A and B are shown apart, each in its own frame.
Chain A
Amino acid sequence: MYSLFLRLALLSVIAVPAIANAMPLRICADPDNLPFSNRAEQGFDNRIGILIAHKLGREPEFVWARSRRGFMREQFNKGACDLLMGVPEGLRAVATSRPYYRSSYVFVARKRDELHIARFDDPHLEGRRIGLQILEEDYAPPSLPLIRNGHAAQLVGFDTFGARSADIVHAVADRRVGVAVVWGPLAGYVAARDHLPVTLTAVSPQVDSSGVPFTYDIAIAVHKKDNALRNAINHAIDQSDAQIRAILARYHIPITADEKEAR
């Protein structure tokens, strides 16, 4: 990683004289987590990160780190990188930029079943196996209303990471589960990439009665005291709105309108 860092730093000096004096912008990213990022820089957060870096007149330098348990303390807070893509706005212990997209958990169902489930009290959930992502050692937030509505015994956990992250969407298509609730960007990307006969319906309402949200504003994290970089990133996001939306559309990321705007 350090040798790569040096190589890129040298390259930027030699090949990009316009930004020869700028340090590379180091972006922490997961090496194997499409559609967000991968080592081949094929994820939408790779693309948006590169876009933002260039807007700032700096060369992007990806620092590959699996952002799982211990990542924040072992990597980010120790200064392994300057920024981190794809965090919920307001995440503690870091400073977050203005959001660059807003998405939600979605119900994934087979097209032929014509279920159109959007709510956790939908009677069509009765008796169906319900796929859910696993985050750390727990199910994703939609487990809360599902359990409250008496569906605890129907839940089936799926990996959120790496090569098997797409499995939860395929499981709906293959009838291994009747329906699944999945974070929108993953569901939208997998369904389109693999041409799966499924429908995606945003979870409604956007916030659970317990206060747990199912819709999140997604931002870029910088170190807590790095106000200058945050301000610059905010400006770059403002300027790049159309390009960011185009990138997200290419990955079929479901975008949720802000409730206030929607009204």
Chain B
Amino acid sequence: MKTVKMLSRQKLPSQFTCWVGALVCAIAVAGCKHQTQSVQESAGAGGGIHPYGAMLEADDGQWVRATKDYANTRYSTLDQINSNNVASLKVAWTFDTGTKHGLEAAPIVANNTMYIATPWPNRMFALDLTKPGGPLKWSYDPNPSRSAKGEACCDWVNRGAVFSDGKVFFNTLDDYTVALDANTGRQLWKTRLGDIANGETITMAPMVVRNKVYVGVSGGEFGVRGWLTALNTTDGSIAWKAYSTGPDKDVLIGDRFKPFYDGDKGTDLGVKSWPPDAWRIGGGTVWGFLAYDPSSNLIYYGTANPGPWNPEVRPGLNKWTAGVFARDADTGQAVWFYQMSPHDLYDWDGINENILLNLPWQGSTRKVLVRADRNGYMYLIDRTNGQVLSATPYVYITTSTGVDLKTGELKHVLDKAPKTGQEVRNVCPPAPGAKDWQPSSFSPKTGLVYVPHQNLCMDVQTGEANYIAGTPYVGASERYYAGPGGNEGELMAWDPIAGKKVWTVPDKFPIWSGTVATAGDLVFYGTLDGWFRAADARTGKTLWQFKTGSGIVGQPITYRGPDGKQYVAILSGVGGWPGAIVNSNLDTRDDTAANGWGIAMHDLKSATQAGGTLYVFSLP
């Protein structure tokens, strides 16, 4: 999970400190031909708008799961609010969640009710949408363990609930999946899935297909062995559990497993691609969004980075971390796997979302998944067999020179590999990657993918003394700073067929919120300093914006209320990995605060305050 990252929180010796990150970055590149040659410039503009030719899932005006539909498009057919009238969008009502930690959840709308899952202490609120102002219908308090807070790497977040068949399902930081009666909030069942004493936590939004709810583990990456499990929605019993490392029987690799690339073929690679027993603590957690293709009955999800962070201690390709699995939704049996970052060097979780589309590709229509990966490449992968059709840089990259389409391998730049006792500068993208968990959206009207992401680089070096409860040690430290252009974040409209950008909107800070695309030709997103915006889906132009009370790291949604009106909702509450600078009041003079975010976030504390409010907007 980002999980995390490993690098500890020490400061570098001051002589190595580079306060003007972008400047240092520019000098480093200009001053070294060798590096210049290995830089991958991101794909330029020149993409086009092509209305989507295939069908999307029917839209009932609700928002029953974080990803909106199984294909993860986060597209709404509602167009009452559109590019012509959005300028008059107003706050309809608000709701204070009472929390001050990162609000990453998507509000869930179903059953004329809105369901809000909060960060630890993981309360669930049900708001009655049939009445003015969305009064509280019921709330549920799972009373999670206090100690879970200490295990979560990157703030105490929760990415939301899921509604299915009269039930609401969500996860708690201390490793329970809870099923509630959606009308009354009565607990139907509660299943313990992990052990916080092992560093396991759960932050992801669960997904339901028919009678199974899927849940994966997060947590301190070292010592955690990643898994995805399927629970029966009726009673919370466990149907199957698929680990991300270890012997084939634990990974649910059997006769159906047909990976595309030779490197993924063989027996027990989840053991053999590690030093002895290292797979037992090898990471590969599962905390992103799942996608589902009803035509093949396959689920798709990414696995996080391998542990421990220091790649020198885990020689091998570290299967099945930092990759994408396709599995049978009923049995969990693996069908294919592709590894974006074999033997990951940078803490690049592979958990980013997969958007399932059917796109024209070299004369025929291919069933693909589109993913903007941590490593800086936009992948087009044939979702029936795991073949990479294209992998195009969408940010400035110094760490690799491309993806070999014959072998599927990421071509690393050896100079940029972290080395014990050395400083490595201008590592782009850095540990949080070119894009973290914040989900993209897709509009069939424009055929574009709307990607919220970072534009960051980092310097890495061993640091000074630190300790954990009596045991001292020296770790490495990271410092993040803006990449070329000086903006740390960007909203990008990407043409997945041409493999080019159509437009971009730079932002001072990383854009850590999700996006939503609507039939009103709008893209909604939020910024770390609290602006909630509607961009023109065709040009990126800001057509409307509203300053919320705190930074936005959540997932916008839109729905049709019981009164027939269209509403847009977002949770405002800064936090998450970079936002912890604000809600934990970290010292930004310490460049490595919040695992390296200190420098990049110098101004964020003055730009916004911790908060925890739901905002719902509508036309007057």
A residues with a Cβ closer than 8 A to B are 30, 33, 36-37, 45, 66-74, 77-78, 85-93, 129, 133-141, 143-144, 147-148, 152-157, 159-163, 183, 185-186, 210-213, 216, 218
Q: State the Cβ distance, A130 to closest chain B Cβ, in Å.
A: 11
Name the prevailing secondary structure of the A interface residues.
mixed
* B204-261 interface with A by 8 A CB criterion: 220-223
The reply to whether A212 and B10 form a contact with Cβ atoms under 8 Å apart is no
Question: Smallest CB-CB separation from B275: which chain A residue?
Answer: A153
CB pairs A–B below 8 angstroms (14 shown): A36-B470, A69-B151, A86-B469, A88-B466, A90-B464, A93-B590, A135-B471, A136-B468, A138-B309, A138-B310, A152-B315, A162-B197, A185-B470, A216-B465
Are A137 and B307 in contact, CB atoms less than 8 angstroms apart? yes
In the complex, what's the smallest C-beta–C-beta distance from A64 to chain B, in angstroms? 10
- Determine the distance from Cα of A135 to Cα of B310 in the docked complex, in whole angstroms: 12
Which of B28-36, B333-341, B472-480, B525-533 has 4 or more CB atoms under 8 Å from chain A? B472-480
CA distance in complex: A67, B465 (Å): 15
Q: Is the CB of B584 within 8 A of A139?
A: no
B420: interface (CB < 8 Å): yes
Residues A30 and B470 in contact, CB atoms below 8 Å apart: yes
Cβ of A210: which chain B residues have Cβ within 8 Å of it? 420-421, 462
Q: Which residues of B contact A139 (CB under 8 A)?
A: 308, 310, 313
Q: State whether the Cβ of B586 lies closer than 8 Å to any Cβ in chain A.
A: yes
Q: Which residue of B lies closest to A45 (CB)?
A: B470
Knowing A69-B153, A86-B469, say if A157 contacts B281 (CB, 8 Å).
yes
Bound Cα distance from A66 to B9, whole angstroms = 17
**6 closest pairs, A vs B, by CB?**
A210-B421, A137-B222, A36-B470, A137-B6, A88-B465, A153-B275
Inter-chain CA distance A226–B287, complex, in Å, is 42
Query: A residues within 8 A CB of B281?
Result: 134, 157
Residues of B within 8 A of A (CB): 4-6, 8-11, 147, 149-153, 197, 220-223, 275-278, 281, 307-310, 312-315, 420-421, 462, 464-475, 580, 584-587, 590, 593-594
Contacting B466 at CB < 8 Å: which of A30, A91, A211? A91
**Is B275 a contact of A154 with CB atoms below 8 Å?**
yes
Task: Give the chain A neighbours of B222 by CB distance below 8 A.
Answer: 134, 136-138, 157
> How far, in Å, is A139 (CB) from chain B's closest CB?
6
Task: List 8 additional contacts besides A90-B465, A92-B11, A160-B471; criterion CB under 8 Å.
Answer: A129-B276, A136-B6, A137-B5, A139-B308, A153-B276, A154-B275, A159-B223, A210-B421
Asked if residues B150 and A157 are in contact (CB atoms below 8 Å), the reply is no
Q: Chain B's nearest CB lies how many Å from the CB of A114?
A: 25
Shortest beta-carbon distance, A213 to chain B, in Å? 7
Residue from the list A67, A78, A135 in contact with B473, Cβ < 8 A: A135
> CB within 8 A of A147: which of B313, B586, B590?
B313
Contacts of A156 in B (CB 8 A): 276-277
What is the distance, in angstroms, from B97's C-beta to the closest C-beta of chain A? Answer: 19
How far does the alpha carbon of A168 sit from the alpha carbon of B151 in the complex, in Å?
Answer: 21
A148 CA to B419 CA, complexed, in Å:
11
Using Cβ atoms and an 8 Å threshold, which residues of chain B touch A37?
469-470
CB contacts (< 8 Å) of A163 on chain B: these are: 197
CB distance from A195 to the nearest CB of B (A): 23
Query: How near does chain A come to B610, taking the closest CB pair, in angstroms?
Result: 13
B462 proximity list for chain A (CB < 8 A): 210-212
